[in-house]
Amino acid sequence: MDRSDRMDWQVYVLHCGDDSFYTGIAKDVSRRLDQHVRGKGARYTRGRGPLVLWWQSEAMSHAQALSLERRIKTMSRAQKKGLKAQKEDAVD
């Protein structure tokens, strides 16, 4: 399996303290969230705490994660909120 095909990336959405959303990708979402919380993540999330992990995807390739991240970033606020509802419905 080619390195670029490895299924070890996830897309995540953070809900920020100012009620905005931030979308990113990471191999280790917990570690990346910790970086955001400590102010070492993306510039956008600095000063917007508290940060809460709102949604995260299943594991996928880097290319798939980049594509999904781009799609989520273009979604409306209502569509982003719907991501969480869709995941909860899938669990029920």
Range of the domain at 10: 3-91
- 56: which residues sit within 8 A by CB, 6+ positions away? 10, 11, 12, 13, 29
Count of structural domains within the chain: 1
23, 12 Cβ separation under 8 angstroms: yes
The pLDDT tens digits for 39-88 are 999 999 999 999 999 999 999 999 999 999 999 999 999 999 898 777 66
The pLDDT tens digits for 22-43 are 999 999 999 999 999 999 999 9
69, 11 Cβ separation under 8 angstroms: yes
Query: Which CATH number do you get for residue 17?
Result: 3.40.1440.10
Is residue 89 pLDDT above 70, yes or no? no
pLDDT band at 91 (very low <50, low <70, confident <90, very high): very low
The pLDDT tens digits for 76-86 are 999 998 987 77
Find how far residue 41's CA is from the centre of its chain: 13
Ordered alpha helix ranges (H), 29-76: 29-37, 62-73
